[in-house]
Amino acid sequence: MKKINIEILNKPTSYDIIIGRNLLNEVKNLIPDQSKYSMNVIIFDSNIDSSTLDNIKILFNDALFISIDLTNSKKSFEQFLDIQKALMKYNVDRNSLILSLGGGSTGDLVAFIASTYNRGVDYVHIPTTLLAMIDSSIGGKTGLDFEDGKNLIGSFYHPQLVIVDTNFLLTLRKEEVTSGLFEAIKYGVAFDLELFLFIKENINDLYSINILTKIIKWCCQIKTDIIMKDEKDNNIRNKLNFGHTIGHAIESIYNIRHGEAVAYGMLCAAYLSRDNNTLDNNELDEIVKLINHFDLPEIVFDIKKILEQLSKDKKRINGKNNFILLNSIGDSYISDNVKIDLIKNSMSNL
pLDDT in tens, 37-96: 999 999 999 989 888 899 999 999 999 999 998 876 778 889 999 999 999 999 999 999
Provide the CATH number for the domain around residue 44.
3.40.50.1970
120, 137, 171: which is the final residue of a domain? 171
- What is residue 51's predicted lDDT score, i.e. its pLDDT? 87
The pLDDT, as a whole number, for residue 189 is 98
Phi, psi of 218, deg, nearest 5: -65, -50
* 135 and 243 housed in the same domain: no
Cα–chain-centroid distance for residue 229?
Answer: 19
161 and 247 in a single domain? The answer is no
45 shares its domain with 85: yes
The upper half-sphere exposure of residue 12, i.e. CA atoms within 13 Å in the direction of its Cβ, equals 0
Q: Are residues 130 and 181 in the same domain?
A: no
The whole-number pLDDT of residue 49 equals: 86
Residues 286, 144 within the same domain: no
> Could you count the other beta carbons within 10 Å of the beta carbon of residue 14?
12
In a shared domain, residues 214 and 292: yes
Say whether both 315 and 199 belong to one domain: yes
Verify that 163 and 241 share a domain, yes or no. Answer: no
Domain boundary at 121, 153, 171, which?
A: 171
Same domain (yes/no): 157, 183? no
| Three-point CA angle 168, 169, 173, nearest 5° | 115
- Supply the range of the domain harboring residue 201: 174-348
CATH of the domain at 205: 1.20.1090.10
Query: Nearest-CA neighbor of 178 among 297, 69, 70?
Result: 297
Query: How many Cβ atoms sit within 10 Å of the Cβ of residue 336?
Result: 13
Q: What is the value of pTM for the model shown?
A: 0.93
* pLDDT for the residue 316: 63
| Amino acid in position 295 | D
Model pLDDT, residue 318:
58
Identify the pLDDT of residue 233.
Answer: 87
Residue ending a domain, choose from 144, 171, 198: 171
Share of the chain above pLDDT 70, in %: 97
Number of domains forming the structure of the chain: 2
Is 181 in the same domain as 166? no
State which residues of the chain have pLDDT below 70: 72, 148-149, 314-319
* Residue 204 sits in the same domain as residue 344: yes
- Tell me, yes or no, whether 138 and 223 share the same domain: no
